[in-house]
């Protein structure tokens, strides 16, 4: 299998940025520019569904104006093939090893159901008010630990807005603003106080949208971790067997 992201480069990157990740304010995170090359971004954009496609689920209420994909058992199969291949790679062992080294969180698991993840798109005037994410996967029961956001917006002007905002745990101030630039990857811990979003309406031209890929990663809930009760395989002899 040919990896779109070279595993050895990912390991080097994780080791180079892990101390920065742990020390980041207001909660552990990192911003990685050029995580995807311009050519890789263009490959994804070539098959990115337009805003009027039936592919999308539309949200329009005071806290959320956006498009994403409603999770179901066949969510992955509704993706264009090239984007589906990217989702497989971003849920692969090399990415899990990269994230483990970067964050120090062991036992990370991907989400093949793409529950709440996959493609996201914000239209002009859209927004996502500051929030902390859901904590347990509704299908697997796993605990959500990390978000990975990859932006796909070439030539994104500051006047368009759409910056990802990271707020302190007391919700007194925005500590970080991160522009959604093409190829940029943002990874951060998600818990009860990892407040983030882009709360101001998007000001991009009518023919533009804010496009991204969102992936979420999980572990067994530490408070209900069954590994202390693990047993080995139990083999039994049938009548007459001596081994």
- Estimate to the nearest angstrom the gap between the alpha carbon of 99 and the chain centroid: 11
Helices (H), the chain: 7-23, 38-46, 81-90, 93-103
| 95 pLDDT tier (thresholds 50, 70, 90) | very high
Tokens of 42: 């263009």
Averaged pLDDT, 129-133: 89
Q: What are 59-86's pLDDT values in tens digits?
A: 898 888 998 886 655 667 778 888 889 9
Give the mean pLDDT of 36-58.
91
Q: 151-174: per-residue pLDDT in tens?
A: 999 999 999 999 999 999 999 999
| Confidence check: pLDDT of 230 > 70 | no
User: Do residues 116 and 134 touch, judged by C-beta distance below 8 A?
Assistant: yes
> How confident is the model over 1-32, as pLDDT tens digits?
577 889 999 999 999 999 999 999 999 999 99
The rounded distance, in Å, linking the Cα atoms of 131 and 167 is 9
Neighbours of 54 (CB within 10 A): 7
Q: What angle do CA 38, 129, 122 make, to 5 degrees?
A: 35
Q: Quote the CA–CA distance of 90 and 232 in Å, as a whole number.
A: 31
The tokens for 239 are 């009548």
* Closest listed residue to residue 34, CA positions, set 8, 3, 9, 1: 9
Look up the CATH superfamily of 7-221. q2cbj1_9rhob like domain (2.60.120.620)
The rounded mean pLDDT for the chain is 89
- Predicted confidence (pLDDT) per residue in 171-193, tens digit: 999 999 999 999 999 999 999 89
Tokens of 133: 């994410």
Least confident segment among 27-31, 127-131, 134-138 = 134-138
Query: Quick check: 210 pLDDT over 70?
Result: yes
Q: What is the mean pLDDT of residues 35-48?
A: 95
Question: Is the model's pLDDT at 229 over the cut of 70?
Answer: no
Span 120-143, average pLDDT: 89
């Amino acid at each position: 299998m040919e990896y779109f992201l070279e595993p050895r480069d990912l390991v080097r990157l994780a080791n180079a940025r892990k101390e920065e990740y742990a020390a980041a304010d207001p909660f552990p995170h990192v911003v990685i520019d050029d995580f995807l090359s311009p050519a890789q971004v263009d490959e994804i954009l070539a098959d990115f569904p337009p805003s009027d496609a039936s592919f999308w689920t539309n949200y329009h209420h005071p806290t959320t104006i956006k498009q994403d994909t409603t999770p179901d058992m066949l969510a992955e199969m509704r993706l264009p093939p090239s984007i589906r291949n990217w989702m497989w790679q971003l849920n692969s062992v090399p990415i899990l090893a990269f994230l483990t080294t970067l964050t120090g969180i062991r036992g990370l698991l991907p989400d093949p159901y793409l529950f709440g993840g996959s493609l996201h798109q914000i239209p002009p005037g859209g927004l996502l008010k500051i929030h902390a994410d859901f904590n347990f996967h509704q299908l697997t029961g796993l605990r959500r630990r990390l978000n990975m956001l990859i932006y796909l917006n070439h030539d994104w002007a500051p006047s368009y807005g759409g910056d990802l905002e990271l707020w302190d745990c007391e919700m007194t101030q925005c500590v970080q603003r991160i522009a959604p630039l093409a190829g940029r990857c943002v990874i951060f811990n998600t818990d009860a106080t990892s407040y983030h979003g882009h709360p101001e309406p998007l000001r991009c031209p009518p023919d533009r949208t804010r496009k991204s890929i969102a992936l979420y990663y999980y572990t067994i809930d530490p408070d209900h971790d069954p590994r202390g009760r693990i047993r080995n395989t139990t083999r039994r002899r049938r009548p007459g067997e001596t081994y």
